[in-house]
Chain A
Amino acid sequence: MFRESPIIRWRNYSDRYKLRGYKCTKCSATYFEYKGMCPCGNLDFTEIDFSGRGKIAAFTQIHGGPEAFENKTPYCVAVIDLVEGARIEAQVMDCKYEDLKIGTEVEAVFRKFYSSGEKGVIHYGTKFVPKF
């Protein structure tokens, strides 16, 4: 495998750090991160910074991780419906996995993800914590 270039992740920093999405100017559909062409055919979007509040639509706890996360298992990943309408996939943390349910309300937090090797860039992004 190749060592990851920092550029690959840097491109998406503004979206990830601010949980920024895009809203179609024609049909108002919202997406987390860039969406090239809306299913309605429109190419124009306005930026929308999501509030970070949402509900779990599906979730799992991963015990066998990929290379970048192999030392972090087990960790929880969920499909989350944001209150503004977009659906995203993200890690849910700072909780007991057993306490999570479909429908649990969650809130976005800014967290470290992993680093590209010992001397590599540290990548950050958005994870979620439950609001019990």
Chain B
Amino acid sequence: MRMKRVDIMKVGVIGIGITKFGEIWEQGLRELLLDAQLRALNDAKIDAKQIDSLFTGNMIAGLASGQLHIGAMAAENLNLNKPSVRVEGACASGSLALRQGIAAIESGSADIVMASGVEKMTDISTEQVTTALMGAGDEELEGFNGLTFPGLYALLASAYMKEYGLKREVLAEVSVKNHFHGARNPYAQYQSEITVDTVLNSTMVADPLTLFDCSPITDGAASIILASEKTAKKMGAEVYITGSGLATDTLSLARRKSLLRLDAGINAAQSAYKQAGITAKDVSFAEVHDCFSIAEIYAVEALGLAKQGEAAQLYTSKQTYFDGKKPVNTSGGLKACGHPVAATGIKQAIEATMQLRGEGGKRQVKGATTGVTYNVGGSGGTACVHVFKKMK
């Protein structure tokens, strides 16, 4: 009888490094990236020369800092002349860099890889950031009409709230929970708790989304060092990536099949779960893309943590807190931790690694064995999901 052999991909996480997220006036693009890179090398206890390839996510440095060619910059930072590539997929750029790193190891072209994400956003005005971020939407069909990113997600919120009866106060619970977690995360931009009233009474950005429904403008960088299973085991790594899923959809909302779900998110989750051999029931916690509160509602449904249209229940019953049944965004999410666009995907991977290593401090999820990260580019034009496993 022929046995069916199941090969589960395993790429080890051997080092993590993250800068403080926030308005970091003292550091520029290059310094932020170097800071995260050095911290990751320090955590991995390896020399930079051991890195075979580098992949660095970045979205707006071309517009905000007049700096492109981030691949060469990332290698130069460490005095390396190795293969180094900049990866861009809007707000999902970090996860795409991670996925490229995994692919390099899986292909055999590299044994040790550094995947980073960096964004310097506070050097330009809010209007300029708004314009630059809108590059992730459809410039002709959306940008020309005055749409903004909060505007796109507000359109989704209006359709979802009407269809499923999601209440404004319940949507606010997403931000309240994320600030609760942020208050327990030392590298978060906002380490303060808020209430539902804080969200409801804050400045309107794009109806129904207020300032406290929106992730902030943030500087920051994050780096992660990956190794092949063999090397990672030798180095005593505890955390392995066992699934990576990536899917795309139309740039504009108008050309999507539905406004009530993100198909790219659903497809990315399904392919990552399939590769890792898990289902939504196996997930101990999730780090998801809450660029706006409504985006977290779409995320938990795409990941199968709630059925389509039923995510509200998770929030009214407070199950998404770190000590609940389905912890979501223990880092504080994009809302409280901050959203240095391309650094976010790597930050999610770092939070997953910290939780599985038991380094979650005051926000530690007890007995966590499987973590999932869910990173979105644009209003759902790109979605990238990774599965992290604790292995001893």
Asked if A68 and B146 sit within 8 Å, CB to CB, the answer is: yes
> Does chain B have a CB within 8 A of A121?
no
A58-B159, A89-B253 given as contacts; is B206 within 8 A of A64 (CB)?
yes
Q: What CA separation (Å) do A68 and B132 show in the bound complex?
A: 12
- Say whether B128 contacts A1, CB under 8 Å: yes
Q: From B126, B147, B204, B205, name the one whose CB has the most chain A CB atoms within 10 angstroms.
A: B147
| Stretch of B41-49, B149-157, B189-197 lying at the A interface | B149-157
Asked if B127 and A65 make an inter-chain contact with CB atoms under 8 angstroms apart, the answer reads yes
Complex interface residues of chain B between 196 and 233 (CB less than 8 A to chain A) = 203-209
Contact partners of B144 in chain A: CB under 8 A: 9, 113, 123, 125
> A79-B254, A87-B255 in contact; A65/B148 too (CB < 8 A)?
yes
Flag if A57 contacts B130 (CB, 8 Å). Answer: no
Assembly CA distance A113 to B147 (angstroms) = 12
Is A72's beta carbon under 8 Å from chain B? yes
Assess whether B148 is in contact with A62, with CB atoms less than 8 Å apart: yes
| A66 and B127 form a contact (CB under 8 A) | yes
Is residue A77 contacting chain B, with contact meaning CB distance below 8 A?
yes
Main secondary structure on chain B at its contact with chain A?
A: helix
Within the complex, what minimum Cβ distance (angstroms) separates B68 from chain A? 14
Assess the A64–B126 pair: CB atoms within 8 A: yes
Interface residues on A, range: 35 or more
**Set A60, A67, A70, A91: member contacting B158, Cβ < 8 A:** A60
Q: Name the contact of B141 in the complex, choosing from A57, A58, A60, A88 (C-beta under 8 A).
A: A88
Chain B's nearest CB lies how many Å from the CB of A78? Answer: 8
Query: Is B130 within 8 A of A58, CB to CB?
Result: no
Q: How far is the CA of A129 from the CA of B253 in the complex (A)?
A: 21
Within 8 A of A (CB), among B115-166: 126-128, 130-132, 134, 140-148, 150-151, 154-159, 162
Q: How far is the CA of A89 from the CA of B157 in the complex (A)?
A: 15
* Nearest CB in chain A to that of B257: its residue: A39
A61 and B255 contact, Cβ closer than 8 Å, known pairs A67-B127, A77-B155: no
Give chain A nearest CB distance to B101 CB in angstroms: 32
Q: Is B24 an interface residue (CB 8 A)?
A: no
Q: At the interface, yes or no: B320 with Cβ under 8 Å from chain A? A: no
Q: Does A102 contact B (CB under 8 A)?
A: yes
Nearest Cβ in chain A — how far from B131, in angstroms? 4
Q: A63–B255 Cα gap in the complex (Å)?
A: 25
Contact mask for chain A residues 11-34; partner B; CB cutoff 8 A; 1 contact, 0 none: 010000000000000000001110
Q: How large is the interface on B (under 10, 10 to 19, 20 to 34, 35 or more residues)?
A: 35 or more
Of the residues B63, B148, B155, B162, contact of A64 by C-beta under 8 Å? B148
Query: B252 in the interface, Cβ–Cβ < 8 Å?
Result: yes
Closest residue of chain B to A78, judged by CB? B155
In whole Å, how far is B282's beta carbon from the nearest beta carbon of chain A?
34
CA distance A115 to B244 in the complex (A): 45
Contacts of B255 in A (CB 8 A): 31, 87
Collect the chain B residues with CB atoms within 8 Å of residue A12's CB.
140
Q: Is A97 in contact with chain B by the CB < 8 A criterion?
A: yes
**Chain B 258-272 residues near chain A, CB threshold 8 A:** 259
Give Cα A90 to B155, complex, Å.
12
CA distance A120 to B155 in the complex (A): 31
A67, B131: Cβ atoms closer than 8 Å: yes
Contacts of B154 in A (CB 8 A): 60, 62
Known: A70-B127, A79-B259, A89-B253. A57 touches B159 (CB 8 A): yes
Determine whether the beta carbon of A62 is less than 8 Å from that of B140. no
Docked complex Cα distance between A78 and B203 (Å): 21
Interchain nearest-CB distance for A67 vs B (Å): 5
8 Å CB contacts to B: which residues of A29-76?
31-33, 57-70, 72, 74-75
Contact B159 A102, beta carbon cutoff 8 Å: yes
Determine the chain A residues whose CB is within 8 A of the CB of B146 once the complex forms: 62, 65-66, 68-69, 72, 75, 77, 91, 113
Q: List 17 A-B contacts (CB under 8 A).
A: A1-B128, A62-B154, A63-B203, A64-B126, A64-B148, A66-B127, A66-B131, A67-B127, A68-B146, A70-B127, A77-B145, A77-B147, A89-B147, A91-B146, A102-B158, A123-B144, A125-B145
- Chain A residues with a Cβ under 8 A of chain B: 1, 9, 12, 31-33, 57-70, 72, 74-75, 77-79, 87-91, 97, 102, 113, 123, 125
Nearest 6 pairs of A and B residues by beta carbon: A60-B154, A58-B159, A69-B146, A61-B207, A66-B131, A58-B155
